[in-house]
Amino acid sequence: MSNNALPEIFETFADARKKGFLAMKAEKDKGRNVVGTFCTYTPKELIYAANAVSVSLCSTSDETIPEAEKYLPKNLCPLIKSSYGFAITDKCPYMYFSDLIVGETTCDGKKKMYELLGEVKDTHVMQLPHTKNYYSFELWKNELNILIKKLEEKFNVKITEEKLRDAIKLFNEERTLMKEFFSLAKLVPSPVKGTELHDVMSSSSFKFDKKEFFEEIKKAIADTKAKYERGETPFTEDTPRILITGCPTGGVVNKVIKQIEEIGGSVVCIENCSGTKNHEMLVDENKDPIEAIAERYLNIPCSIMVNNDGRMERIKRYIDEYKVDGVIDVTLTACHTYAIETEKVRRTVEGCGKSYLAIETNYSNSDAPQIRTRLEAFVEML
Ligand code: BJ8
């Protein structure tokens, strides 16, 4: 039986960003400091160990891009222009509440934008190495220690080993629950929509009472399983199953994921950096905390890494585990690292005997009809 109504179990996640503003104010009123972030490489454990909260800063709307383009080149990734636009127009409540911003030297555009952002807000940039070897590991560990010092001085706190271990446990618990939730989409037919997966994925950054958030995810898992048992799923066994990979999708979720499901596909896996792959990587609780955090974060398979084989391995594994029929690789305009990596992704997907579609897009709506036509042809073919 098909049920297309948005289950109320997901409402709390869909609203998270909007409501997070009030939740954040409550944290501020309690005297907690706030650290704004832009990237999955930011080691959140250090921020929580400093008794601060981390929040994802606004970067998913084209609303502030015209303002940003007064200072940044037009042919720059929309995510970077949007982030900077929100910072200079004071339109992002999370930016407003942030006492500190932590960025990393990921792609060229971001690291150069941080130089300008530093003129507006206190911005600490971590030097992220782009390879994985002994030297880069030592460098990254050093960067973690520098961030600890920065947080201790800025917030007048002491980050102890015990606090670090508690933060590691907290985020490992979050990742484990998120992974369990994402894994529900392995069922055939999938009992969750791609837009719901996306809402839950994005909400974690706006749920500051982590224990309450964990209970909400547990409930969503239990309710979704129960619905599946009753045969109430939004799809049928024949619905084509799609994996999304590529750049962060926060700014294009309606244009891509929502449209896929409107035209009869089922997005079962969102591989990108805040999706499935991020939540399956835990910090080893049995190691020295700094070593373990450094290791976990340096292993994130983002295209800014030189030799990013981890991404290809995951795509292969997820195609199998989520019984994927086709892969859609989403690149934001002017993101060179993801654009170049589309070639390796195509080979990987086609090597698995599956269909592949690359889409390049930005945050405007002008190409939505054209993208819909391409998605229709792709889903039809599956
Ligand atoms: S871990 S994906 S959040 S770097 S899309 S700004 S890469 S030009 S966002 Fe990213 Fe961290 Fe990687 Fe994730 Fe640059 Fe590309 Fe724009 Fe990007």
Query: How do residues 70-104 score in pLDDT, each as one tens digit?
Result: 999 999 999 999 999 999 998 898 999 999 999 99
In the predicted model, is pLDDT for residue 5 greater than 50?
no
The whole-angstrom separation of Cα 235 and Cα 85 is 39
Output the residue whose Cα is nearest ligand 1's atom 12.
Answer: 302
As a residue count, the chain comes to: 382
* 268-307 confidence digits (pLDDT tens): 999 999 899 999 999 999 999 999 999 999 999 999 999 9
Burial group, residue 156, by CB count within 10 angstroms (0-12, 13-18, 19+): exposed
* 214-224 confidence digits (pLDDT tens): 999 999 999 99
pLDDT > 90 in the chain, percent: 88
The whole-angstrom separation of Cα 123 and Cα 101 is 5
Output the residue whose Cα is nearest ligand 1's atom 3.
Answer: 39
Q: Tell how far the Cα of 146 is from the centroid of ligand 1, in angstroms.
A: 23
In the predicted model, is pLDDT for residue 205 greater than 90?
no
pTM above 0.85, yes or no: yes
Residue 20 Cβ contacting ligand 1 at under 6 Å: no
Q: Decide if 293 contacts 208 (C-beta within 8 A).
A: no
Q: Provide the mean pLDDT of the chain.
A: 94
pLDDT number for residue 2? 37
Q: What is the mean pLDDT of residues 5-28?
A: 71
Residue 107 Cβ contacting ligand 1 at under 6 Å: yes
For ligand 1, pick from 59, 304, 341 the residue to mutate: most ligand atoms within 8 Å of CB.
304
Q: Where are the alpha helices (DSSP H) in the chain?
A: 11-14, 16-29, 44-49, 65-68, 78-89, 93-97, 108-117, 134-155, 161-183, 194-203, 210-229, 259-262, 276-279, 289-298, 309-321, 336-351, 368-381
* 316-353 confidence digits (pLDDT tens): 999 999 999 999 999 999 999 999 999 999 999 999 99
Output the residue whose Cα is nearest ligand 1's atom 7.
Answer: 107
Q: Decide if 301 contacts 277 (C-beta within 8 A).
A: yes
* 96-142 confidence digits (pLDDT tens): 999 999 999 999 999 999 999 999 999 999 999 999 999 999 999 99
Q: Characterise 314 by phi-psi region: left (phi > 0), alpha (psi -120 to 50), beta (else).
A: alpha
| Ligand 1 atom nearest to CA at 77 | 16
pLDDT band at 4 (very low <50, low <70, confident <90, very high): very low
Using only C-alpha atoms, the chain has a radius of gyration, in whole angstroms, of: 20
* 256-265 confidence digits (pLDDT tens): 999 999 999 9
In the predicted model, is pLDDT for residue 360 greater than 60?
yes
Lookup: tokens for 237: 């066994």
| Ligand 1 atom nearest to CA at 80 | 6
pLDDT number for residue 23? 85
pLDDT number for residue 12? 65
Residue 41 Cβ contacting ligand 1 at under 6 Å: yes
For ligand 1, pick from 37, 38, 39, 359 the residue to mutate: most ligand atoms within 8 Å of CB.
39
pLDDT number for residue 21? 81
Output the residue whose Cα is nearest ligand 1's atom 4.
Answer: 106
